[in-house]
Chain A
């Protein structure tokens, strides 16, 4: 199997309501050809609905969907020619592994010998060579996942859709499969839409991530930008850990707790603002803090040992709680102030992110 041709996907104003619940609220989305794009959101945000609209299993109320130049919004699912990996894999229990993978080839009239060759190839690609004669119920979860993947790519679709394909696997296997899916994507190059609610998975695998909030795309960006420059409190809270502090506007800048904040270049948001704090970006400072950092003073409430990292829970002077995380080396642990001690936390200007304050989250 070689690099297949891939297609861009264009989504315009797709809306879908169930009763008075808006699952999709006039969504626009441009997926680049060959891109690995993840739809990330909490359950009920509409990410799966959007994927199902692309596969043709959900009929939207309105909107346009193009694969390349072709409008497909009214095309029946079996004519769309996209591969799909289902959350529960949906492997046919009355067929063995080889017959499952050969199914799309059989429907396309591929001659038997040719189909058998391509099945073997697909099995080798997902590292299950020789498993063709197994029954589906003889496979482990991870193996089923691979067979489902082989079945979805064996007919060389130009678009691949995946609906939380790793959610049923345990953590170690999931992390292993994430890297493998990424490798397969690089090898095959088909445009891939991946649905997950696991932010870490999204950041690990994707070229770009679309964060979905109540039927709308809240932010669409590359993983690093999404993490470091979230556009809203919702995105910041959904991706990674964070805490928020109210900041005051002072003549052309911002201040927290009376101290003026050193900010990165670029425009600050309008209106009321919040300071976003990522625990791992806060540094515990000893005597003689380095110049140029924003400083936060407080009292240590608790030191939590978490294996690879520690978490220092700090109560700031105004009563807000923040966390500071670091690698739990022996030196770092020894240098940590004990509970009850005063501490100064430092935040580099490039990590000092202001977000518009939209009011308390629901």
Chain B
């Protein structure tokens, strides 16, 4: 304590310390959970990926990833499918979020239940439901042919089409929610100001509304893209073995070959690539804004 400390300085400083300790204590359970469920398994995965079959340290799993062209193909497929699904989500989701954001809040709340409904059913159930709808003798092909819209059953499933349909369906709310949020947050006065200054509806949208909704769109797109990278069930059920994504290969390596090392290496590479995407996105788009910070 310095000689010129004012009255109660020591006591007040101790109160501040106690407050910090209490705050730390409150966050402890969550920190412990994250450590146990996240950091430990990932660390273990990381460790396994550097062990050869005989238990010695080696890069053999990574060597195989580089040498076998099939792995490169799987990663390419994963990124292509994810990018395509994200793009379709944007095309479908942005206008939907726009319509919702223009509704009176109460009506929008009801409509939002419709958007969120898919969240209330398991992904597996929804994916098999699509299988029922999309297969050769499924509901869509039967009706389409009965109505004379097409003559031969369309290939809607067991390929890329089916995988994309399923993935977009599951991912759409993840895009709509942040976009809707950012659109709702746009003060209507901005659009009034744009109109007052001479912008018709189209230009007001292009020059003011769209740029202001962009952070939400970017947040949604990144969430969707990253979640897509790890998809397993949908490509497995609706891809018909033709769409093999990294997660499917990991499952194969473990279930069929019991090759934990190879699976771990795949997992680590996917994790690193995902982090690279996030990092690039944050460099490009200022992640602090996307994640809800105010920026400076």
Answer yes or no: do A and B interact: yes
Prevailing SS type, chain B contact patch: helix
B270 at the interface (CB under 8 A from A): no
B47 at the interface (CB under 8 A from A): no
CA distance A80 to B197 in the complex (A): 9
Tell me if A93 and B197 are in contact (CB < 8 A): no
Task: Give A292-344 interface residues, CB cut-off 8 Å to B.
Answer: none
- In the assembled complex, the CB of B163 is this many whole angstroms from the nearest CB of chain A, namely 36
A99-142 Cβ-contact flags toward B at 8 Å (1 or 0): 00001100110000000000000000000000000000100000
Number of A-B contacts (CB under 8 A): 60
Task: Give B191-245 interface residues, CB cut-off 8 Å to A.
Answer: 192-200, 203-204, 207-208, 211-212
B187 at the interface (CB under 8 A from A): yes
| Chain A residues near B208 (CB-CB < 8 A) | 92
Number of interface residues of A (CB under 8 A): 25
Closest B residue to A163 by beta carbon equals: B189
- In the assembled complex, the CB of B199 is this many whole angstroms from the nearest CB of chain A, namely 5
| Chain B residues near A83 (CB-CB < 8 A) | 196
CA distance A86 to B187 in the complex (A): 12
- In the assembled complex, the CB of B184 is this many whole angstroms from the nearest CB of chain A, namely 15
Tell me if A90 and B190 are in contact (CB < 8 A): yes
A75-97 Cβ-contact flags toward B at 8 Å (1 or 0): 01110111110101011111000
CA distance A82 to B295 in the complex (A): 33
CA distance A82 to B189 in the complex (A): 16
CA distance A104 to B197 in the complex (A): 5
CA distance A103 to B204 in the complex (A): 11
Which of B187, B192, B203, B296 sits near A77, CB closer than 8 Å? Answer: B192
Prevailing SS type, chain A contact patch: loop
- In the assembled complex, the CB of A134 is this many whole angstroms from the nearest CB of chain B, namely 13
Closest B residue to A82 by beta carbon equals: B196
Tell me if A94 and B211 are in contact (CB < 8 A): yes
Tell me if B192 and A88 are in contact (CB < 8 A): no
**Given the known A-B contacts A86-B189, A88-B189, A90-B189, are A108 and B200 also in contact in the complex, defined by CB atoms under 8 Å?**
no
Tell me if B203 and A57 are in contact (CB < 8 A): no
**Given the known A-B contacts A92-B208, A94-B212, are A57 and B197 also in contact in the complex, defined by CB atoms under 8 Å?**
no
**Given the known A-B contacts A88-B187, A88-B189, are A78 and B212 also in contact in the complex, defined by CB atoms under 8 Å?**
no
Tell me if A86 and B197 are in contact (CB < 8 A): no
A158 at the interface (CB under 8 A from B): no
Tell me if B198 and A78 are in contact (CB < 8 A): yes
CA distance A68 to B207 in the complex (A): 31
CA distance A137 to B195 in the complex (A): 22
Tell me if A108 and B212 are in contact (CB < 8 A): no
Closest B residue to A107 by beta carbon equals: B198
CA distance A78 to B200 in the complex (A): 6
Tell me if B197 and A151 are in contact (CB < 8 A): yes
| Chain A residues near B207 (CB-CB < 8 A) | 103
CA distance A155 to B196 in the complex (A): 11
A55 at the interface (CB under 8 A from B): yes
**Given the known A-B contacts A93-B212, A94-B211, A94-B212, are A57 and B200 also in contact in the complex, defined by CB atoms under 8 Å?**
no
CA distance A93 to B186 in the complex (A): 10
CA distance A104 to B194 in the complex (A): 8
CA distance A91 to B204 in the complex (A): 14
| Chain A residues near B204 (CB-CB < 8 A) | 78
| Chain B residues near A93 (CB-CB < 8 A) | 212
| Chain A residues near B195 (CB-CB < 8 A) | 56-57, 76-78
- In the assembled complex, the CB of A357 is this many whole angstroms from the nearest CB of chain B, namely 43
A130-169 Cβ-contact flags toward B at 8 Å (1 or 0): 0000000100000000000001000100000000000000
| Chain B residues near A90 (CB-CB < 8 A) | 187, 189-190, 192-193
| Chain A residues near B192 (CB-CB < 8 A) | 55, 57, 77, 86, 90
Closest B residue to A151 by beta carbon equals: B197
| Chain A residues near B189 (CB-CB < 8 A) | 86, 88, 90
| Supplied contacts A81-B198, A88-B189, A90-B193, 17 more A-B pairs, CB within 8 Å | A55-B192, A78-B194, A78-B196, A78-B198, A78-B199, A78-B204, A80-B196, A82-B196, A84-B193, A86-B192, A92-B208, A103-B199, A104-B198, A107-B203, A108-B198, A137-B296, A155-B198
What 4 pairs between A and B have smallest CB-CB spacing? A90-B193, A104-B197, A90-B189, A107-B198
29 A-B residue pairs with CB within 8 Å: A55-B196, A56-B195, A57-B192, A57-B195, A76-B195, A77-B192, A77-B195, A77-B196, A78-B194, A78-B196, A78-B200, A83-B196, A84-B193, A84-B196, A92-B193, A92-B194, A92-B212, A93-B212, A94-B211, A103-B194, A103-B199, A103-B207, A104-B197, A107-B198, A107-B203, A137-B295, A137-B296, A151-B197, A155-B197
Binding site for A on B (CB under 8 A): 187, 189-190, 192-200, 203-204, 207-208, 211-212, 295-296
